[in-house]
Chains A and B, each alone.
Chain A
Amino acid sequence: MAELVREGGVSYEIVEQEHPRVLSRNLSAASHLLASATAMFFLAFFFAYFYLRSLNSNGLWHPHGVKPSMTLGTLATVAWVLGAVVLWLGVRDRRAERRTEWRTKGAIALALGIVAIVLQVVEWFVADFGPADGGYASVYFGWTAYIALFGVGAIYWLETTLAISVRYRKSATTSPPAGHASGDPHRSGHDIADPLSLVPATLEAVSFFWSYFAALVVIAWVVLYLL
């Protein structure tokens, strides 16, 4: 029920949360919707690739020598896919209530994501062509840059899930100490009973998004490196 709390001259209404079941369904729906929107975003680059390739304006679609590093690109892609697989195994551990195992796997996936982004950045710097070198170079730099950007988002999402489960690893079944509720030490009340109640749903959601995203990365890799 709503209660009014005063802090530092401002009054807050501490409101009843939705039931964790509802919030879990929200997360699940959101991950699917977000994945669709992400797919539409990369669809634009997919379309750009084939459209510019078919037009080959001024013969500058793919000048000789414009070739990104196959090794680094493949490694980055493998890192994303491996991250998705490890994360999915982590989800299975979580379903089986193996807490330490899933946290480890989550951390590995997180590290793999970071490795993928680092590899991508290295690949840009070792490339001996620039974004101005024709249509393919444009699509390559744009597409990989936005993959890295969306990847940062996925990594952030996973990190928050891990962080909360690590912070409350000891108090898994009890309420959080007062003031821990919102990450705001001045807060007196707590507005969520069990801080871990949403971890399962969040993990499922982030794993779904990551897998979907990894599939988009594979498509990008096939298009950019193999075709």
Chain B
Amino acid sequence: MSETAQTAGAPAPVAVRRPPLWRRLIGFNLLTAVLLGIGGWYLGWWLGHQVSGASIAYFSDTDQNDIALFLGYFTAVVGFLIGMGFLQYPIARLRGYPPSLREKETEGIGRYFGLCTDHKVVGIQYLFGVGLFFFIAGLNAMLIRFELLRPTPVFNSGNYLTLVGLHGTMMMGMMTSAVLGPFANYFVPIMIGARRMAFPRIESLTFWLLMAAGGILMTTVFFGGFPTGWTGYAPLGNQANYGMDSYIMFFALVGISMCLLGLNMLATVITMRAPGMTWDRLPIFVWGVISTSILNLLAPPVLVAALSMSLLDRTAQTTYYLQSGGGSQYLYQNLFWFFGHPEVYILALPGFGILLELLPVFSRKPLWGYRLAVAGMMGVTLLSFLVWQHHLFVSGINANLRPFYMLSTELISIPTGLTFLCGLLTIWRGSIRFTVPMLFALAWFFNFLIGGISGVFNSDTPSDTTEHGSFFVMAHFHYTIMGGLIFTFFAAIYYWLPKMTGLQLNERLGKIHFWIMFLAFNSTFLPLFAVGFLGQPRRVVTYASNLQFLNDWVSVSAFVLGLSMLVFLYNLVYSLLFARIRAERNPWGSLSIEWQLPSPVPVQNFDTIPVFQNDPYGYGDGAGPVTRPVGIPARGR
């Protein structure tokens, strides 16, 4: 911030004498939060042993006291939030002080390690936080592929299942916020001409809850891991060791975080749009965020409820999911997939938004069929609540509804097809520039095409009989999620990081990253369709020896895919820490408003709230930038 102000020739901000480091470490920050979190855990753990003792047979039989562990996790989260400083405000409100807003520590690196209500700081926090867990989960994937180099086991079976579970759960839990966290938090307020989100404190809370959740999930290794994969099916989840509790706590916290994130985004877009920002001038990325946020708001509460039933089953001895006690494991499957299917669109829809946002910029052409694209994303949103039983095609629940779920699932290809249509016709007769973000966006077409077509096979009940629970399904959802979300995630990083940091990323390294990643990705997951058809179920530690060649091929490709991530990391470190080449204000020639502001965007975004006159897609027709006059950036004058 101060740097920008100085380069822009503004008077230097008030000189503040920095206190010594030890003094700055005391207070509400990450260090305090972690310490209080650990302390809180021990408190809850001790308390749990006091209240439950040996009252429940298997607690004493197995020395696994779930009540103590859950209480420990709960108090750890509370301690963490206290340490972060989240409880000051609610307590002040309880005592009757008015709502206030202050942006803490607007300079220095310290603001990235604490509660910060600046949406741009939260965006960068999210980028690195989610990125960290993406790399941990990716490392798990490498280990999984290492195991599958040989048909006979390398790892201990329980450890392998924990690896699989950690990879799946972390990816599905943390990457839900991969786009909404960093990019929507950073750019949605700017794009709609606002200075901040509707609820800046909740915005920060969503991030730190997610980080607390991630930490809790990692502690599962101290409690024996969990054997259920990311789905956490009952009754295996009821039977599992108490490492399962970390899974439940993790996903419940992630669910709360997702729900609050969606609520905040929706409230922001509904109420904080600048004058002239009508619904049909919203950048298409914002529409992607809206549709995702609707799912984020409505689907995770069901997950949290389902997991709290799991929690009650494991602690209070209820029998929600136990057939033998008047419950049903199908209840969990229904509730979980009622959340779980919208969840996968929570992962896919932001990708649609980024794709359609980037294509006009790099083909110098307006977005084709704006309303159709919006209708497509909204159609996916609505339909995604009606398809969940396609995950239960062979589960043994009443089969009468299968034709309906087959139909509703296949209907989703209509709105998805609209995204293809709008995307393809946006580049049609354009003037296409093959920049790094554009390459990643274009890869979406290929990846999501294969993902979508294989999805039609999955939705077709007869064909799904063989595919269900096999590597075919695994390949399918990696094509849609990794091919659809992660590729556009990287497109967004290469596209927007110059704006977020004010520094250029190396283009050559970016292209190397893209080509290795694209080729290795397809080389990894295309053979897995065959592996699935040939009879390899998911999450196995051993497999048929005749599949070794294919599995080895996949493993080697996966290692190359992992290598491409190292290229990216190298690019990031090199460009941001060593090369430090300042990015132009608008390197891509975009008409969208965020590119009219300085890089990085100053605190408060605008001094004067801009008045919008066009949508940001007036390429080629001389409609010019989105606002007239262009919103004046804050303090960058």
Q: With A2-B635, A18-B195, A183-B92 in contact, do A11 and B106 touch (Cβ < 8 Å)?
A: yes
Question: Are B271 and A29 in contact (CB-based, < 8 A)?
Answer: yes
Give chain B nearest CB distance to A67 CB in angstroms.
Answer: 15
Task: Specify which of B23, B101, B312, B324 is in contact with A141 (CB 8 Å cutoff).
Answer: B312
Give chain B nearest CB distance to A186 CB in angstroms.
Answer: 12
Task: Specify which of A61, A160, A164, A191 is in contact with B326 (CB 8 Å cutoff).
Answer: A61
Give chain B nearest CB distance to A26 CB in angstroms.
Answer: 4
Question: Are A22 and B604 in contact (CB-based, < 8 A)?
Answer: no
The B201-232 residues at the A interface (CB cut-off 8 A) are none
Question: Are A184 and B334 in contact (CB-based, < 8 A)?
Answer: no
Question: Does B603 make an interface contact (CB < 8 A)?
Answer: yes
Question: Are B334 and A47 in contact (CB-based, < 8 A)?
Answer: yes
Assembled-state Cα–Cα distance A131/B18 (Å): 57
Question: Are B266 and A6 in contact (CB-based, < 8 A)?
Answer: no
**What size tier do the contact residues of chain A reach?**
35 or more
* Stretch of B315-323, B516-524, B585-593 lying at the A interface: B315-323
* Stretch of B133-141, B300-308, B467-475, B542-550 lying at the A interface: B300-308
Question: Does A43 make an interface contact (CB < 8 A)?
Answer: yes
Closest to B256 in A: A37
Question: Are B305 and A181 in contact (CB-based, < 8 A)?
Answer: no
Give chain A nearest CB distance to B28 CB in angstroms.
Answer: 10
Assembled-state Cα–Cα distance A160/B318 (Å): 35
Convert B250-270 into 0s and 1s, putting 1 for each residue whose CB lies closer than 8 angstroms to a CB of A: 000000000100110011001
Question: Are A38 and B330 in contact (CB-based, < 8 A)?
Answer: no
Assembled-state Cα–Cα distance A57/B324 (Å): 7
Tally of A-B Cβ pairs under 8 angstroms: 234
Closest to A4 in B: B14
Question: Does A198 make an interface contact (CB < 8 A)?
Answer: yes
Assembled-state Cα–Cα distance A45/B103 (Å): 40
Please, which residues of chain B bring their CB within 8 A of the CB of A33?
262-263, 266-267, 297
Question: Does B96 make an interface contact (CB < 8 A)?
Answer: yes
Question: Does A75 make an interface contact (CB < 8 A)?
Answer: no
Convert B90-133 into 0s and 1s, putting 1 for each residue whose CB lies closer than 8 angstroms to a CB of A: 11111111111111111100000000000000000000000000
Question: Are B317 and A131 in contact (CB-based, < 8 A)?
Answer: yes
Question: Are A44 and B305 in contact (CB-based, < 8 A)?
Answer: yes
The B31-66 residues at the A interface (CB cut-off 8 A) are none
Question: Are A184 and B92 in contact (CB-based, < 8 A)?
Answer: yes
Please, which residues of chain A bring their CB within 8 A of the CB of B195?
15-16, 18
* Stretch of A48-56, A82-90, A114-122, A212-220 lying at the B interface: A48-56
Question: Does B196 make an interface contact (CB < 8 A)?
Answer: yes
Please, which residues of chain B bring their CB within 8 A of the CB of A42?
305
Question: Does A172 make an interface contact (CB < 8 A)?
Answer: no
Please, which residues of chain B bring their CB within 8 A of the CB of A135?
319-320, 325-328
Give chain B nearest CB distance to A180 CB in angstroms.
Answer: 7
Convert A133-146 into 0s and 1s, putting 1 for each residue whose CB lies closer than 8 angstroms to a CB of B: 01111110110001
Question: Does B309 make an interface contact (CB < 8 A)?
Answer: yes
Q: With A13-B102, A135-B327 in contact, do A41 and B304 touch (Cβ < 8 Å)?
A: yes
Assembled-state Cα–Cα distance A69/B226 (Å): 39
Question: Does B335 make an interface contact (CB < 8 A)?
Answer: yes
Question: Are B308 and A12 in contact (CB-based, < 8 A)?
Answer: no
Question: Does B27 make an interface contact (CB < 8 A)?
Answer: yes
Question: Does A17 make an interface contact (CB < 8 A)?
Answer: yes
Assembled-state Cα–Cα distance A164/B97 (Å): 6
Please, which residues of chain A bring their CB within 8 A of the CB of B27?
10
Convert B326-362 into 0s and 1s, putting 1 for each residue whose CB lies closer than 8 angstroms to a CB of A: 1110110011001000000000000000000000000
Question: Does A156 make an interface contact (CB < 8 A)?
Answer: yes
Question: Does A174 make an interface contact (CB < 8 A)?
Answer: no
Q: With A138-B320, A160-B96, A192-B100 in contact, do A45 and B266 touch (Cβ < 8 Å)?
A: no
Question: Does B298 make an interface contact (CB < 8 A)?
Answer: yes
Question: Are A48 and B331 in contact (CB-based, < 8 A)?
Answer: yes
Question: Does B30 make an interface contact (CB < 8 A)?
Answer: no
Question: Are A15 and B198 in contact (CB-based, < 8 A)?
Answer: no
Assembled-state Cα–Cα distance A18/B267 (Å): 14
Please, which residues of chain B bring their CB within 8 A of the CB of A176?
98
Assembled-state Cα–Cα distance A183/B105 (Å): 19
Question: Are B297 and A36 in contact (CB-based, < 8 A)?
Answer: yes
Please, which residues of chain B bring their CB within 8 A of the CB of A6?
14, 16
* Additional A-B contacts beyond A4-B13, A15-B195, A23-B99 (4; CB < 8 A): A15-B603, A40-B298, A43-B305, A131-B317
- List 26 A–B pairs whose Cβ atoms lie within 8 Å, in order of A's numbering: A2-B603, A6-B14, A9-B19, A12-B102, A12-B103, A17-B101, A25-B271, A29-B198, A30-B263, A47-B335, A48-B331, A51-B331, A55-B328, A57-B325, A57-B328, A58-B324, A60-B319, A135-B319, A136-B326, A141-B312, A146-B305, A156-B90, A168-B98, A182-B100, A183-B91, A192-B99
Q: State the 10 A-B residue pairs at the shortest beta-carbon distance, nearest first.
A: A183-B92, A60-B326, A183-B97, A163-B96, A44-B305, A195-B98, A167-B96, A138-B318, A135-B326, A182-B100
